[in-house]
Structure 1
């Protein structure tokens, strides 16, 4: 059997066979052979300023391209710095392989530099966390990692290598990159769901990120349009029905969830974002019946008992469920008035936004920022949210035209994802606008990685909603205690000057009339550019405690 120069060559060759084009990393001696392997295999190496950004970039690559992402972290603190990124990938179901360095086996137990047993630390937030046993097995172990990451339900895998093994010769491993077989849903489960829909008078569909990740967006749109069902998307489900679609009722979300008698949730957990799966029950009405559909049985809700559930490849689910609906006698006419009610409510809400989206209030109302952004945002723009109150407005007022173009941290809610996500988005969508929406709190986590954008010539437009505080904490503390602590940030802090100091561009905006021209300058600049917008600290995003 032909041997690679060292095990790093074998590891990278297998990674490339699984579609990896970029290795995200922060330099460390424990993993030099992986870099050498990337050079030999002509794989891009993109180095960042903090390991969390490497993992976030790998995760965003997986979510945008629907191919596995790769992060390479050096031993010890390199890996612990990446843990939040791995946890985020775990909660988002993102197929990411994180390869780590490890102190030499020949010195193990004697106090070598950065000696740490990493897999037990990563085990709770990965599908698989393990150490390659020897140099000869590394190619095969890497294949196991990728195969596990992409199998339903997708998720992160951690694999580390003893340093002396990684530098040793290793057999070339020919990867068998078969696509996981589609999981077929149970026909009886789908028939039961179709019967519930045939009985419903006020149904609602919820589409989540896994619809996109399962490549089921076409089938999902066809299902909604065929059976004339109102849709509320979240995560990367946004854009499956494009902005302006008659069945897209995001802006009537409160009404829809309050009065629905059947809610069909597809490709997202019944977590806090969806009121834990409790819908209806308003004004004396009974609770809505809930259907939960996922890409794998492990993702079905266990904290409550849905009226029905199904698991399987989501494209197959939608096509098969559509057939079952025909057999069950589902008649869209029976709930047509409900759909009209929601559509009219959504249209009224959008019309009611016009005043605040054009607000001349000084200090600037956050909604004015989104009013101006909507004028310059292209249909294929990738929009990334990294923040609290400011980004919550984006979730409400930015409706993508295409699926797969929205990125936020997901249910784990980890701040600091933005720069890593932006790096990945610029590589994955080189001809699209990439817009990063930052709260001023979130900016403090990762803004140094603007240096990465500059060094690698990756233009991104960053918009910072700067209200000088941790808004998600300050306002609730005031409400609870009448005072707040640990919630203040520097008013009008010059984050734009941080970006210019790192080689990008930026400016501070303090007047509503300045927002539009500043955004146009940012998009025209062709460099990483931050528009730092001082927003009104008294304005808090309205929310309730259930997520509904």
Structure 2
């Protein structure tokens, strides 16, 4: 390779260094990658150039993207992943799609077969950017050396601007090794990326929209506000909590919105979600789509449907799947602050919130019995009964699984935002190890707890090696029911039997971790859970608790979930 591609004595001379410079300018501190020759100039620049980045190499490209996505979610600064050409790029497609559905700021840079002689069938010659066109904010190729840096800057600007999301950019190996011939040259229109690094402007605050929403609230007797991931991503968590506090509107949180209204707050009614959304006459949804998680916006009852308001960070996020009674798009903090100022609380809302608080109290009482459940087999809820008292306010909790992590969604209520990660509506199993890598890099001073179903564990545990090599202690808890629990129950309900849903009983996932240099143990007795969690949290190394659970203790669902 060195015969065809002369190495620059100065790593900052190669055009690939422009990508690293753009990343550093955007606030990136860590590059996640899996080594590949097509992107060596980026490594060289990050290792010994002017703009040095920490480099964390993983065992599968998907984990690099999941790690970068987690950084983007937690820090609200675009995460950065670099993958080599061909399979390295195609392995990134599902994680990038997850980031698209989650609205996570992320830049993925891919290597590409040589520009010289394109079309002759070089190794891994594939026009990669079109693969990402439908699941990114922008996807394109920098075809000449002078385009690489400016387009990388544009990629980071686009990823971090509302509505946030992933951007894919690639460049050929010979392009990346080539020096930039004319410093500062602006790129042409050879890619779908924006022509500059400037962030698009959002619409200004619309007083008419605020007045319309305020009027609907003035007529409402049973209002509910739903706070989603973009409340956190847009920096609106303080304004959202002030609205809940000042107006007394009951609140439900989901996704990265968890913790915006802290656990124990009298206005938090997530545990009364079903009666709240059924009996509401007005639902204000902020920073999350009206998708399957929110019954596609069908609130209230068929006889008495609730009015629906959608507040989003960008006009293209407005719901189009149902009529809206009002909507607002733009800076979420500004919208929520203006709405708080425009509305006078109504006395009826106090009684409504008290009613929902009673539902929450009953749910808490029912949960308390599950959390201390005893028996010959460990109920999954018992794991959370032991874990919850041991979580600090700063612990980052990550869910990666089906049935086992559904219990986490029921029981884990953060006390501040930015402490919860899950795959989001696209639901990629196997995202957890990458997310744990990213979370530990983004927040090295606080505990990271990864909750894994045994199915999800089988997809990604090899990246424990990454945790070990890079000294990233994480506590992993596997709910091991020896099954694809999320599929087994629905299949039995539909057919009266199940197939292809069983995993080997009592698989020693803990030994996988110890073989890779971490630590772990198998737990079969509920009484041993608490001390084992204490050992894991104190270990200072990647530590996996392989908890064998009751296979018949399934998460209660109202439908099959199909």
Asked if Structure 1 and Structure 2 have the same fold, meaning a TM-score greater than 0.5 normalized by the shorter chain, the answer is yes
**CA spacing shift, 1:394–1:172, aligned 2, 3 Å:** farther
Indicate conservation of the 8 Å contact 2:11/2:41, yes or no.
Answer: no
Among candidates 32, 35, 40, match of residue 32 of structure 1: 40
Alpha-carbon distance between aligned partners in 2 of 1:519 and 1:460, rounded to the nearest angstrom: 12
231-240 or 424-433: bigger deviation: 424-433
Alpha-carbon distance between aligned partners in 2 of 1:118 and 1:151, rounded to the nearest angstrom: 24
Using the TM superposition, give the Cα deviation of residue 42 of structure 1 relative to its aligned residue in structure 2, in angstroms: 1.8
Who is 1:239 aligned against?
259
Who is 2:383 aligned against?
369
Alpha-carbon distance between aligned partners in 1 of 2:11 and 2:528, rounded to the nearest angstrom: 62
Alpha-carbon distance between aligned partners in 2 of 1:247 and 1:332, rounded to the nearest angstrom: 15
| CA deviations over 1:457-504 (Å, ceiling 9, x no partner) | 000000000100001111111111111111111111110100000000
Using the TM superposition, give the Cα deviation of residue 181 of structure 1 relative to its aligned residue in structure 2, in angstroms: 4.7
Alpha-carbon distance between aligned partners in 2 of 1:332 and 1:463, rounded to the nearest angstrom: 45
Indicate conservation of the 8 Å contact 1:276/1:546, yes or no.
Answer: no
Among candidates 195, 202, 209, match of residue 215 of structure 2: 195
Aligned 1:68-217 pairs, distance under 5 A = 68-170=78-180, 181=201, 183-217=203-237
Structure 1 residue 334 and structure 2 residue 354: aligned? no
Indicate conservation of the 8 Å contact 1:272/1:546, yes or no.
Answer: no
Indicate conservation of the 8 Å contact 1:149/1:155, yes or no.
Answer: yes
SS in 1 for 2:16: helix
Alpha-carbon distance between aligned partners in 2 of 1:182 and 1:134, rounded to the nearest angstrom: 31
Using the TM superposition, give the Cα deviation of residue 545 of structure 1 relative to its aligned residue in structure 2, in angstroms: 3.8
461-470 or 422-431: bigger deviation: 422-431
SS in 2 for 1:436: strand
Indicate conservation of the 8 Å contact 1:3/1:169, yes or no.
Answer: no
TM-score, reference length from structure 1? 0.96
**CA spacing shift, 1:134–1:124, aligned 2, 3 Å:** same
Among candidates 48, 52, 58, match of residue 48 of structure 1: 58
Who is 2:305 aligned against?
287
Alpha-carbon distance between aligned partners in 1 of 2:392 and 2:457, rounded to the nearest angstrom: 24
SS in 2 for 1:320: helix
Who is 1:322 aligned against?
340
| CA deviations over 1:293-352 (Å, ceiling 9, x no partner) | 100011111010121111111001111112222xxxx33312211100101210221122
Indicate conservation of the 8 Å contact 1:4/1:172, yes or no.
Answer: no
Among candidates 428, 431, 435, match of residue 417 of structure 1: 431
Structure 1 residue 504 and structure 2 residue 501: aligned? no
Alpha-carbon distance between aligned partners in 2 of 1:188 and 1:362, rounded to the nearest angstrom: 61
**CA spacing shift, 1:195–1:394, aligned 2, 3 Å:** same
Alpha-carbon distance between aligned partners in 2 of 1:459 and 1:18, rounded to the nearest angstrom: 27
* Count of aligned pairs between the two proteins: 541
SS in 1 for 2:125: coil
SS in 2 for 1:105: coil
Among candidates 30, 38, 61, match of residue 22 of structure 1: 30
Among candidates 440, 450, 457, match of residue 454 of structure 2: 440
SS in 1 for 2:323: coil
Structure 1 residue 311 and structure 2 residue 325: aligned? no
Who is 1:428 aligned against?
442
Alpha-carbon distance between aligned partners in 1 of 2:445 and 2:427, rounded to the nearest angstrom: 29
Among candidates 491, 494, 509, match of residue 495 of structure 1: 509
**CA spacing shift, 1:334–1:453, aligned 2, 3 Å:** same
Alpha-carbon distance between aligned partners in 2 of 1:314 and 1:123, rounded to the nearest angstrom: 27
Who is 2:476 aligned against?
462
Alpha-carbon distance between aligned partners in 1 of 2:329 and 2:205, rounded to the nearest angstrom: 5
SS in 2 for 1:32: helix
Indicate conservation of the 8 Å contact 2:155/2:197, yes or no.
Answer: no
Alpha-carbon distance between aligned partners in 1 of 2:241 and 2:345, rounded to the nearest angstrom: 18
Q: Which structure 1 residue ranges, 5 or more long, are not aligned?
A: none
Alpha-carbon distance between aligned partners in 1 of 2:509 and 2:345, rounded to the nearest angstrom: 55
Alpha-carbon distance between aligned partners in 2 of 1:449 and 1:38, rounded to the nearest angstrom: 23
Who is 1:513 aligned against?
527
| CA deviations over 1:142-162 (Å, ceiling 9, x no partner) | 111111111221111110001
SS in 2 for 1:517: helix
Using the TM superposition, give the Cα deviation of residue 137 of structure 1 relative to its aligned residue in structure 2, in angstroms: 1.4
Who is 2:317 aligned against?
299
Aligned 1:205-284 pairs, distance under 5 A = 205-281=225-301
Indicate conservation of the 8 Å contact 1:207/1:267, yes or no.
Answer: yes
Indicate conservation of the 8 Å contact 2:115/2:143, yes or no.
Answer: no
Who is 1:378 aligned against?
392
| CA deviations over 1:370-417 (Å, ceiling 9, x no partner) | 000012111111000000010011011000011011000000011111
**Structure 1 vs Structure 2 CA RMSD:** 1.8
Using the TM superposition, give the Cα deviation of residue 135 of structure 1 relative to its aligned residue in structure 2, in angstroms: 0.5
Alpha-carbon distance between aligned partners in 2 of 1:400 and 1:3, rounded to the nearest angstrom: 44
SS in 2 for 1:107: coil
72-81 or 273-282: bigger deviation: 273-282
Q: Which structure 2 residue ranges, 5 or more long, are not aligned?
A: 1-9, 187-195
Indicate conservation of the 8 Å contact 2:31/2:55, yes or no.
Answer: yes
**CA spacing shift, 1:496–1:181, aligned 2, 3 Å:** same
Indicate conservation of the 8 Å contact 1:233/1:250, yes or no.
Answer: yes
Indicate conservation of the 8 Å contact 2:490/2:560, yes or no.
Answer: no
Alpha-carbon distance between aligned partners in 1 of 2:102 and 2:560, rounded to the nearest angstrom: 20
